[in-house]
Structure 1
Amino acid sequence: MPTAPKPATGLRERKKIRTRQAIRRAAYRLFEERGFDATRVDEIAEAAEVSPSTVFRYFPTKEDIVLSDEEDPVIEAALRARPADEPPLTALRAALHDVMAELWRQPEAVTELRQRMRLVASVPAIRARMHESIGKSGDVLHGAIAERTGRARGDLEIRILTGAVLGALTEALLHWTEEGLEDDLMDVLDRSFRVLEHGLAD
């Protein structure tokens, strides 16, 4: 299976990514030790060796530390690399396959994904914030799907398709979490896409 193409990044952007990753990793360690609610932002900053203002520059809220990742540009690049004549859902499913295959080769990234989903499932504030943050991923998909189909970004059909995909992915991740985080995640995502493509038909 081919790996997902990675968008080119300059030195400054790579430094920003490393800082975000350091903050997230420090936060996850503390959340594991103390719990989400008991962990303060200044403690996360100290563990990541940055200032509290730096934490807030990258993550407006503590919940955003859990919900933010670097995957949107990777998924966008993988989607744009798909053949132009593929239907949007087919292209998006194939792009996710490539991205998930690459992620699963990185044990630390898989561990972080499982930690994130356990927190989403157990902390109401994160769950509430998740629905607000989905809009950022929606913007990425809006642009890529509009480009593939030749439609305007604000087109109603594009908005409906994007919303349906994001809703399906969210529910797939929550189902995966509720089932213990051990099922094949790509199989769960494939099931979600089959529902989008064919409804509840067997």
Structure 2
Amino acid sequence: MNGEGPSLRERRRAETQRMVQSHALRLFARHGYDATTVNDVAEASGVSAMTVYRHFPTKEDLVLHGRYDGVVAARVAQRPADEPLVRRIGRALVETARTAAGDGSGEGVSPEGRLLLARLRLMIDTPALRARHLDSQFATQKAITGALLGEAPDPEAEFRANAVAGAALAAMHAALVRWAREDGRPDLPGLVAAALGAAFGGDFE
């Protein structure tokens, strides 16, 4: 594409994914995750079940799709290389939270932030999704370590990076749970910074 942005086909694919996921989250919230089938989602979306599966290989993906691994990894890589590891990771997470939540709190939460809220509520309240969320958190941890150390890291450096990244993501998870429980009213970046400060000390704003 030579830096010209996503193609028309890619934009249409992304639009279909957002539309199907939006209908799925609405049905899950109304009828429950377990009681809603992929066929129900397809019917509400006006597409075939095959189309749903083409975009979301499993039912869980209807909730979990839209992770921020690449965004977090890119922001970690962009931070100053001489910055302490915990600050480098922590501030990248705060910046990502700012993007994910949108333009404010409460009524000011963006459509993207509202979508994240819906996904978080389901992940918190549905056992099957909680298990898959742990898998996705491990993938994010791996992406952070890769951004810091490259493809063939020194074992000791990898150990330290994994320890810090895992602890930072656990702190962020605590912030996300509170944000979801309070319907997006608190400032999400502020909550993430506060959780990181509680875990590690210092200022992450």
**TM class, shorter-length:** 0.7 to 0.9
Pairs within 5 Å for 1:85-104: 85-103=82-100, 104=102
- Report the equivalent of 1:30: 27
Q: Which amino acid aligns with 2:160?
A: E
In structure 1, how many angstroms separate the alpha carbons of the residues matched to 2:178 and 2:4? 33
58, 66, 74: which one pairs with 1:77?
Answer: 74
Q: Which amino acid aligns with 1:139?
A: K
Pairs within 5 Å for 1:29-68: 29-68=26-65
- When the two chains are superposed, the root-mean-square deviation of aligned CA atoms in Å is 2.9
In structure 2, how many angstroms separate the alpha carbons of the residues matched to 1:191 and 1:133? 23
167, 171, 177: which one pairs with 2:170?
Answer: 167
**How far is 1:14 from its partner?**
4.3
C-alpha change, 1:59 and 1:134, in structure 2 (3 Å) is farther
184, 188, 193: which one pairs with 1:185?
Answer: 188
In structure 1, how many angstroms separate the alpha carbons of the residues matched to 2:13 and 2:88? 30
TM-score, normalised relative to structure 1: 0.77
C-alpha change, 1:109 and 1:164, in structure 2 (3 Å) is same
In structure 1, how many angstroms separate the alpha carbons of the residues matched to 2:140 and 2:39? 28
Q: Which amino acid aligns with 2:186?
A: D
In structure 2, how many angstroms separate the alpha carbons of the residues matched to 1:139 and 1:15? 30
Q: Which amino acid aligns with 1:190?
A: A
C-alpha change, 1:32 and 1:168, in structure 2 (3 Å) is same
Runs of 5+ unmatched residues, structure 2: 104-108
Q: Matched residue of 2:82: which SS?
A: coil
In structure 2, how many angstroms separate the alpha carbons of the residues matched to 1:16 and 1:156? 38
**How far is 1:151 from its partner?**
3.9
Q: Is contact 1:26–1:44 with CA below 8 Å preserved after alignment?
A: yes
Pairs within 5 Å for 1:76-155: 76-103=73-100, 104-105=102-103, 107-147=110-150, 151-152=153-154, 155=158
Cα deviations by residue, 1:68-98 (Å, 9 ceiling, x for unpaired): 2152222222222222222232223332333
Q: Is contact 2:117–2:184 with CA below 8 Å preserved after alignment?
A: yes
Q: More deviation in 116-125 or 90-99?
A: 90-99
Q: Which amino acid aligns with 1:39?
A: T
* Residues matched between the structures, number: 191
TM-score, normalised relative to structure 2: 0.76
Q: Matched residue of 1:187: which SS?
A: helix
**How far is 1:10 from its partner?**
4.0
In structure 2, how many angstroms separate the alpha carbons of the residues matched to 1:88 and 1:58? 36
Runs of 5+ unmatched residues, structure 1: 1-6
In structure 1, how many angstroms separate the alpha carbons of the residues matched to 2:163 and 2:64? 23
Cα deviations by residue, 1:80-119 (Å, 9 ceiling, x for unpaired): 2222222232223332333333331371111111111221
Q: Which amino acid aligns with 1:133?
A: S
Q: Is contact 1:45–1:52 with CA below 8 Å preserved after alignment?
A: yes
**How far is 1:191 from its partner?**
1.7
